[in-house]
C-alpha cells in the first residue's frame, strides 16, 4: 500500500502531463491509501479548472466518475479526530496549508506514526518536503526542488 494525496490522484482521473507517471505508480503498487476528504479536494480542483475554462464540463463530469471508481478501490483513512490532532502538530512544524497538513496527518495515521519505509505520492513540493522530513519515501514532486 502507498499513500496518495489529492495532487497525485488528479492525474489518474483525467489526462495531464503527469498522468503517465501516475499510471506507472499504480502499476507498481495498485493499493492506494487516501484521506477521507481527498474526494472533496479532487472535486474542488476539477471545478476550479472548469471555472478557469481549462476543462470542459463534460470532461469534469467524466473525471468525477473515474474519481469515484478510484476511491471505491482505495483504503480510506477516516479517523478525523486523530488526523486533526496530528495535522495541528504538523502545522507547528512545517510550512503547510491546512489541507496539506490533513493529508500528511492522515498518512501518518495510516502509518501508525512510523513512516519509515512507506511511500507517499504527491506532486506538491512543499508537502513532499514535509512528508520526507516525517520519514516517508516521497514519490512524485522532488522535495528539494
Q: How far apart are the first and last CA of the chain?
A: 26
Q: What is the pTM of this model?
A: 0.93
- How far is residue 134's CA from residue 137's CA, in Å, rounded to a whole number? 9
DSSP-derived pairing of the beta strands 119-122 and 2-4: parallel
- Maximum Cα–Cα distance for the chain, whole Å? 42
Tens of each residue's pLDDT in the chain, 145 residues = 999 999 999 999 999 999 999 999 999 999 999 999 999 999 999 999 999 999 999 999 999 999 999 999 999 999 999 999 999 999 999 999 999 999 999 999 999 979 999 999 999 999 999 999 999 999 987 665 4
> Class for domain 2-140, per CATH?
alpha beta
**Which set of grid coordinates corresponds to residue 57?**
464540463
Amino acid at each position: 500500500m502507498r499513500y496518495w494525496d489529492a495532487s497525485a490522484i488528479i492525474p489518474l482521473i483525467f489526462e495531464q502531463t503527469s498522468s503517465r507517471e501516475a499510471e506507472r505508480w499504480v502499476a507498481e503498487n495498485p493499493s492506494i491509501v487516501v484521506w477521507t476528504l481527498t474526494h472533496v479536494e479532487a472535486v474542488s480542483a476539477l471545478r476550479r479548472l472548469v471555472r478557469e475554462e481549462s476543462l470542459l464540463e463534460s470532461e469534469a463530469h467524466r473525471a468525477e466518475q473515474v474519481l469515484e471508481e478510484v476511491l471505491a478501490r482505495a483504503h480510506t483513512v477516516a479517523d478525523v479526530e486523530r488526523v486533526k490532532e496530528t495535522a495541528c502538530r504538523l502545522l507547528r512544524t512545517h510550512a503547510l496549508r491546512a489541507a496539506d497538513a490533513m493529508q500528511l496527518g492522515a498518512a501518518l495515521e495510516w502509518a501508525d506514526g512510523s513512516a519509515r519505509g512507506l511511500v507517499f505520492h504527491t506532486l506538491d513540493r512543499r508537502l513532499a518536503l514535509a512528508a520526507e522530513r516525517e520519514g516517508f519515501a516521497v514519490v512524485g514532486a522532488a522535495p528539494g526542488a
